[in-house]
Structure 1
Amino acid sequence: MPERTAEFGKYGASGIKGHEAVARRLDALADFIATPVTTRRGLMARLHYLTRTPHARAAAYDAGLTVTDRTLQAWLAGTRSPTKQNLARIDDAYRAVRRRNVARYLLARLNRAGRGTRVEIHPLNQSGVRPSHQRVVELRTLNIRHWEALVAAWSTGDDRALDDAWIEQIVDLGSQWGQYEYVTNIGFAA
């Protein structure tokens, strides 16, 4: 059984960790607000999302948005503007809360009542590797039936758990799974 890659890129290959590609795809499926937080519209949309219910406020506080209610009201009224650090906190809190809110929905869609979802794994880019050091890698597909660990790690932002969950899934590729630890892209739909 292959081990995890210790010196990725040593011979010129490029790509990203597979779990990072999965997280990017799940983020795309979560349908975040497209308008940047630096605009008034983007800021208001995020603040309304984070403050519309007591549960949302508590989740925003847990995610790191620890300003007073008075400050939040001033931001919502437009009498004060958040600092750059607070804009970053608002965006981070929004993403964390949104992930938690859509995790259960995404999990149901990805598991599809036990049928799972087909995942396309695009291999790493070897264009910078000398031909004598290149591996034979190709586009692979994998049907993942149990997304629980992947979605749970993604929704909490735990990269290590997401990496472990991804490796647990690609082991199903057989003895070649180590070739798909790093990828250029991962595609799936829900």
Structure 2
Amino acid sequence: MPRPPRSGGDLGNWGRGADSGGRKFAANLDAQVREALASGRLVPDRADSPSVIRQLKYLGTRTGGDEALLAAGVPKSTLRRWHREGSRPSGANLERVNRAYWQLRGSNLRFSRGRPLSAEVRGAVAPQVRTRMRGRSITVIPITGEQVHPQAQGAQQVAADKHHTASERTMRPSAARWEAFIDTWATGDVEAMDVEWMDYAGDIDSPPEPYFEVRHVGFMV
């Protein structure tokens, strides 16, 4: 089991800073979800999405809303009728509105790059992301040598004493591990994501501490 971080002592709170594997994982997944939504490669199910009333309000108050609806397959005549009569979508148009909403929202989310996705967005996409990630690999590039966080010196010494040098690793997490990653990411709980990652560091190598803080966590959604 990985050595848990603690307040004070040799490790301090190492593993829960800006370079923690959990935060790098979450940031990469956020970025990929933004791009997948914007490109239309990822469309949450309607059951996991806001109501059609909320979706139409969003599309009607954002630049590009009509264009997104037309691109999703809503006929021009139908769109004009909605605007003229205020009627609501039905049948296949419900799916088209859902697709248009998420494509436009994904495009707009690009402007908030660098900030975590909201709990609403993460919760909506989580079921599909969970399915897509099963069987995928993760590449981890650790922070080593002079780049290591000062609080990590104790753990780096543990690695050196065992004649081990932390290096890039590519692994395929178990289905259960992926489930735990996505479930924790969806909650938006940063500390829980860090703890989940530190658990995973024990799967990467032993001792696990050099993989608590990393330069890069790579995978494809």
Q: Please give the range of the TM-score, normalised by the shorter of the 2 chains.
A: 0.5 to 0.7
Larger strand share, 1 or 2: 1
In structure 2, the gaps of 5 or more residues are 6-10, 39-48, 64-111, 149-155
Q: Verify: 1:103 aligned to 2:108, yes or no.
A: no
Whole-angstrom CA distance in 2 between matches of 1:169 and 1:94: 23
Greater CA radius of gyration, 1 or 2? 2
Specify the alignment match of 1:176 in structure 2. Answer: 207
1:124 and 2:143 aligned: yes
Q: Retained in 1: the 8 A contact 2:137–2:173?
A: yes
Aligned ranges 1:1-190 → 2 under 5 Å? 2-5=2-5, 6-7=11-12, 16-31=19-34, 53-54=52-53, 76=61, 95-111=118-134, 116-128=135-147, 135=160, 136-146=165-175, 147-190=178-221
Mapped to 2, the partners of 1:163 and 1:138 lie a distance apart of 20
Identity percentage over the alignment?
A: 25
Which residue is equivalent to 2:8? none
**What do residues 20-47 of structure 1 show as CA deviations (whole Å, max 9, x unaligned)?**
011011102212688xxxxxxxxxxxxx
- Aligned positions, number: 140
Change (3 A) 1:53 1:8: same
Instruction: Give the match's secondary structure for 1:144.
Output: coil
Query: 1:127 aligns to what SS in structure 2?
Result: helix
CA pair 181-93 structure 1, distance change in 2 beyond 3 A: closer
Which amino acid in the other structure matches residue 166 of structure 2? V
TM-score by length of 1: 0.57
Paired residue type of 1:30:
V
Q: 1:77/1:126 Cα in 2 relative to 1: closer, same or farther (>3 Å)? A: closer
Q: Distance in 1 between matches of 2:147 and 2:117?
A: 39
Aligned-residue CA RMSD (Å): 3.9
CA displacement at 1:125 relative to structure 2 = 4.4
Residue 109 of structure 1 and its aligned partner are, at CA, apart by 0.6
TM-score by length of 2: 0.50
**Are the structure 2 counterparts of residues 104 and 56 from structure 1 closer, same or farther at C-alpha, using a change threshold of 3 Å?**
farther
